[in-house]
């Protein structure tokens, strides 16, 4: 018998699970991690592939159909294609995607494709080597570009570029990245800088807003027209260039919060279930997974987490409190 869907107190149906597979990363984007002195979770506290797969199967039994693997940097987790193969094989999974910084993608794009992955989001804020180094505190732009090219040659169905929109920093890249995407068939998604950085650097004045980017792209490339969304619950709003070449998307968490449509849950690498990126509470699933809990017990835990989900983040109010975990440890 099909289980009842995962509906929260506001009527939002949850069908999307993001899985953090590590909190570690091989670069150090300033809007996510500090440059030095990061304390990572001990390896034994990180969920095994078996634990992740079991949790995902139970969640899929409750109506989850979309999985996204993320981190930290998921490609630093050894043997990741093995996990991808297992997740792709779960009956009921209709969509499996991966978010990566692309640094290790050149070698892994093939094994991941063979394992069943078809959708990639590759994080790329700039095509300028100096600015890449300034943002990521590593000199790895060429590796990311090589990884993207490898993925493109393999024929991934969707490759999107994630650009974190930080004001007074990435303006010179906005048009260049959109052109880069249009030439290669990558959809660029501009993500408004959110208060999830480990060093509390965020303030409203540092956010480059979606409307400002739309104005720049419309002026410099071609007018942008909103695209009717096939999935209105997806966080990005999409626009097409009026000349018919390519699309861009905006994740405007600050200027156009989309909490009212949220369908997402998050499992952190250390086995905590979160109903929101910004949640201040989380449920431990690792201890139950490791101490003989039944599938029904885990399912009840997921239902209880969803039932407690709040209406949404309060970034635009004085009540906002940043979560104690930074983006790399939540699973962005």
Q: Sign of dihedral through CA atoms 204, 210, 211, 214?
A: positive
Q: Is 266 in the site for ligand SF4 (CB under 6 A)?
A: no
Is 25 one of the binding residues for ligand SF4 (CB under 6 A)? Answer: yes
* Residue 294 beta carbon to ligand SAM: minimum distance, rounded to whole angstroms: 32
Nearest approach in angstroms of CB 193 to ligand SAM is 5
> Nearest distance from residue 85's CB to ligand SAM, in Å?
20
Please report whether residue 327 would count as binding ligand SF4 according to CB under 6 A: yes
Q: Interface residues for ligand SF4 in 92-121 (CB under 6 A)?
A: 101
User: Is there binding between residue 237 and ligand SAM (CB under 6 A)?
Assistant: no
List binders of ligand SF4 among 210-249 (CB under 6 A).
Answer: none
Stretch that binds ligand SAM, among 94-102, 106-114, 216-224, 238-246 (CB under 6 A): 94-102
Q: In this complex, which beta carbon is closest to ligand SAM, that of residue 25 or of residue 279?
A: 25
Q: How far is the CB of 186 from ligand SF4 (least distance, A)?
A: 17
Q: Rule CB under 6 A: is residue 194 a binding residue for ligand SAM? A: yes
CA gap 166, 164 in Å, rounded? 6
Complex with ligand SAM: residue 298 or 315, whichever CB lies closer: 315
Using CB under 6 A as the binding rule, the residues of this chain from 52 to 91 that contact ligand SF4 are 71-73
Among 16, 22, 101, 126, contact with ligand SAM (rule: CB under 6 A): 101
Non-local CB neighbours of 14 within 8 Å, separated by 6+ positions = 5, 6, 7, 8, 63, 64, 263, 264, 265, 306
Give me the residue whose beta carbon is nearest to ligand SAM: 332
Q: Does residue number 137 form part of the binding site for ligand SF4 (CB under 6 A)?
A: no
**Binding to ligand SAM by residue 32, rule CB under 6 A?**
yes
Binding window for ligand SAM (CB under 6 A); candidates: 99-107, 173-181, 230-238, 271-279: 99-107
Question: Between residues 25 and 62, which has the closer beta carbon with respect to ligand SAM?
Answer: 25
- Residue ranges in contact with ligand SF4 by CB under 6 A: 25, 27-29, 32-33, 71-73, 101, 123, 327-328
- Residue ranges in contact with ligand SAM by CB under 6 A: 25, 31-32, 70-71, 73, 99-101, 123, 162, 164, 191, 193-194, 196-197, 327-328, 332
């Amino acid at each position: 018998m099909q289980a009842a869907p995962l509906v929260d107190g506001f009527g939002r149906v949850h069908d999307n699970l993001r899985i953090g597979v590590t909190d570690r990363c091989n670069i150090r984007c300033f809007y996510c991690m500090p440059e030095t002195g990061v304390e990572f979770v001990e390896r034994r506290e990180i969920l095994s592939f078996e634990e992740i797969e079991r949790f995902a199967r139970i969640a899929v039994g409750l109506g989850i159909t979309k999985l996204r693997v993320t981190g930290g940097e998921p490609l630093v987790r050894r043997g990741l294609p093995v996990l991808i193969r297992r997740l792709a094989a779960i009956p009921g999974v209709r969509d499996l995607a991966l978010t990566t910084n692309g640094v290790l993608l050149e070698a892994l794009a093939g094994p991941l494709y063979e394992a069943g992955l078809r959708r990639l989001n590759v994080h790329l804020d700039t095509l300028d080597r100096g600015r890449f180094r300034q943002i990521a505190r590593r000199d790895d732009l060429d590796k990311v570009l090589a990884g993207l090219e490898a993925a493109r040659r393999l024929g991934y169905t969707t490759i999107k570029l994630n650009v974190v929109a930080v004001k007074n920093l990435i303006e010179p890249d906005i048009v260049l990245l959109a052109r880069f995407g249009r030439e290669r068939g990558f959809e660029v998604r501009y993500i408004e800088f959110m208060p999830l950085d480990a060093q509390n650097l965020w303030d409203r004045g540092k956010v480059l807003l979606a409307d400002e980017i739309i104005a720049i792209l419309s002026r410099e490339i071609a007018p942008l027209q909103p695209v009717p969304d096939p999935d209105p619950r997806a966080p990005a709003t999409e626009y097409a260039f009026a000349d018919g070449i390519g699309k861009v998307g905006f994740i405007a968490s600050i200027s156009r919060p989309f909490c009212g449509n949220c369908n997402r849950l998050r499992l952190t690498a250390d086995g905590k279930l979160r109903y929101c990126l910004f949640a201040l509470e989380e449920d431990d699933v690792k201890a139950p997974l490791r101490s003989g809990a039944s599938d029904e017990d885990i399912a009840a835990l997921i239902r209880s987490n969803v039932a407690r989900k709040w209406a949404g983040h309060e970034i635009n109010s004085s009540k906002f409190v940043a979560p104690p975990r930074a983006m790399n440890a939540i699973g962005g």
